[in-house]
Amino acid sequence: MPNASLTLVSHPLCPFVQRAAIVLLEKGVSFDRIDVDLAAKPDWFLALSPTGKVPLLKVTQADGADAVLFESMAICEFLEETHGGVRLYSDDALTRARQRGWIEFGTATLADAWQYLNATDRPTADAKQAAFRDRLQRLEAVVEGPYFGGVAFSMVDAVFAPVFRYFDILDPTISQPTFEGFTRVSAWRAALGARPSVRAAAAKDYAARFRQHLHQHRALLAA
């Protein structure tokens, strides 16, 4: 859709928004970005979002008509199907299905990481850290390096990059033990953190915002 104008409706801390932003940046697609306050959702946003969540992608077509997409992977797959540039899914059906499976695993990994990071008591933090490390152990066995499937950056990488970003912000005394023993995953995390699209997908004040979030929620890891 070369004549379409794209607007990404966002929240500065949302990892699902970052997925879509990474794909847009990887493909070299120009887009506008609008942040909304999810604590005081504006009426125009609620009218557009069936779930009340971000991201949304507003697609303004050549005839002026707008279409609004929701759910991050629906947006990412739309961009993959309609824009050129780097291909983020394999042309091979079996590999592509495998990629989609690991994307689902990535969403569950994000949930474990988020619960660990936001835990307010030690038993919960320890349990969620263990659950997250179990997922890292699974990944350690399949990551090829430098990216998930080898030398080519893929949709799987776009999904995991926002998860790993959290741990780049934490004090190393917290993040290092979490990734201890996972050599391949740690190298993958470093490669993702250095990629321009991943770096540009979050606002420059993202780290400060995330630390503020942890303090406001009295998370143990904010100390």
Q: Which pLDDT score, from 0 to 100, does residue 4 have?
A: 78
| Gap between the Cα atoms of 135 and 20, Å rounded | 23
Q: Summarize the confidence of residues 183-190 as an average pLDDT.
A: 98
Sheet holding 56-60, edge to edge: 32-35, 5-10, 56-60, 66-70
Q: Catalytic positions, please?
A: 14
Backbone angles phi, psi at 152, to 5 degrees: -95, 130
Q: Tokens 């349990």 identify what position?
A: 127
Confidence of residue 223 (pLDDT cuts 50, 70, 90): low
Sketch out the chain's domains with CATH numbers: 5-82 (3.40.30.10), 93-222 (1.20.1050.10)
Collect all residues with Cβ–Cβ distance below 8 Å to 2 and sequence separation of at least 6. none
Residues 207-220 pLDDT 10s? 999 999 999 999 99
Confidence of residue 10 (pLDDT cuts 50, 70, 90): very high
Least confidently predicted of 26-30, 58-62, 111-115, 140-144: 58-62
Q: Which pLDDT score, from 0 to 100, does residue 3 have?
A: 63
Q: For the chain, how many helices (H) and strands (E)?
A: 10, 4
Give, as one character, the DSSP assignment of residue 149: T
**Is pLDDT of 1 > 60?**
no
Residues 65-118 pLDDT 10s? 899 999 999 999 999 999 999 999 999 999 999 999 999 999 999 999 999 999
**Is pLDDT of 151 > 80?**
yes
Given a contact cutoff of 8 angstroms between Cβ atoms, the answer to whether 104 and 158 are in contact is no
Q: Which pLDDT score, from 0 to 100, does residue 62 have?
A: 82
Given a contact cutoff of 8 angstroms between Cβ atoms, the answer to whether 88 and 154 are in contact is yes
